[in-house]
Amino acid sequence: MVWFRVDDGFCDHPKVEALLEGKHAGDAIALWTLAGSWCGKHLTDGEISAAKVARLGIARHEKAAAELVRVRLWEKTATGFRFHNWLERQSSRENVELTRAETAERVRRYRDNKREKKRGAPREMITESGNVTRYTPENVTHDERVSNASPSVTRNSAHTIPFHSVPIRTKEENQNSALGESKTPTVDSSFSRRAIERVISEARGTPWKVPTNRFGMAQRADEVAESIREMAAEYDLDCEYLCKEAFTRWVQAREKRKQDTTPHVWLEDWAGALPPAPKPQEPWRDLEG
């Protein structure tokens, strides 16, 4: 769905005030609104034919269109009319199609991962460079397993960042953290979707809830919470700390690409494509001593 935007300054804009002084202001405003909705739906970048204007149901559509051209809300074209500065206020066809393609690819990848997970097949792994690759033990060498390096066959992904980028602290580092905590963080077995909402609300500074009106969003949130609990249990980390760090790093990566950073997108991206937990490297040992 594409929205036709009308800002709060429309009512007292000089062009609209000039339009209201004419005899056909009501028909002109109705025509402008219906035509804008039609252009947004059909992605015409603000252009509409004269024949379509006549079929929008406005009785005096010719005089209404003339009024819109007079006050320069519309521009006359060879086949009809064009909204003035449409691309400065509305979404272009190119941007809408790009967004739809990215959403379709993200949903497809999530469903594929979920289907393969049920069959027990290897899932996709998101590497430190932001690439997505098929993770199988056969195509990863021993040295690569130790260093968490990615396999050579990858494909670009601009939607997610891995947990590899989240700083993993040891027990001693947590004890000596800036928060001054004197005990090792314990895993909260009750960490759930509600805890995710609380942590993200604190990170954003505004209250946020999982959008339950979106299909499958609550289930995806539960899957994210389960994955966070598993990783936190393996490395003896605090679930809320891990969730906050992951969300903060994700927001930073999205802002660099100037994309949507609403939390429900975070759930969509991460629920079906979480990478395997990084394996801790053994401490250096002096074999001669």
User: pLDDT per residue over 174-224, tens digit each?
Assistant: 555 544 444 444 556 788 888 888 888 888 888 888 887 777 788 888 888
Q: Are residues 50 and 133 in the same domain?
A: no
Please give the tally of structural domains in the chain.
Answer: 2
Is the residue at 150 inside a domain? yes
Domain range holding 84? 14-89
Q: What pLDDT sits at residue 178?
A: 44
User: What are 184's two structure tokens?
Assistant: 């090792």
Indicate whether 73 pLDDT > 90: yes
> Quick one: average pLDDT of 144-165?
44
Indicate whether 150 pLDDT > 50: no
Is the residue at 95 inside a domain? no
Is the residue at 96 inside a domain? no
More confident residue, 121 or 96: 96
Q: Are residues 64 and 117 in the same domain?
A: no
Nearest to 128 by CA among 157, 103, 169: 157
Q: What pLDDT sits at residue 77?
A: 93
Q: Are residues 115 and 184 in the same domain?
A: yes
Indicate whether 75 pLDDT > 90: yes
Is the residue at 208 inside a domain? yes
Which of 80-84, 87-91, 202-206, 262-266 shows the lowest per-residue confidence on average (mean pLDDT)? 262-266
Indicate whether 228 pLDDT > 90: no
Q: Are residues 247 and 114 in the same domain?
A: yes
Is the residue at 287 inside a domain? no
Q: What pLDDT sits at residue 28?
A: 93
For 109-136, what is each residue's pLDDT tens digit? 888 888 887 776 555 555 555 555 655 5
Indicate whether 225 pLDDT > 80: yes
Q: Are residues 112 and 211 in the same domain?
A: yes
- Distance (Å, whole) CA 151 – CA 257: 25
Q: What pLDDT sits at residue 248?
A: 83
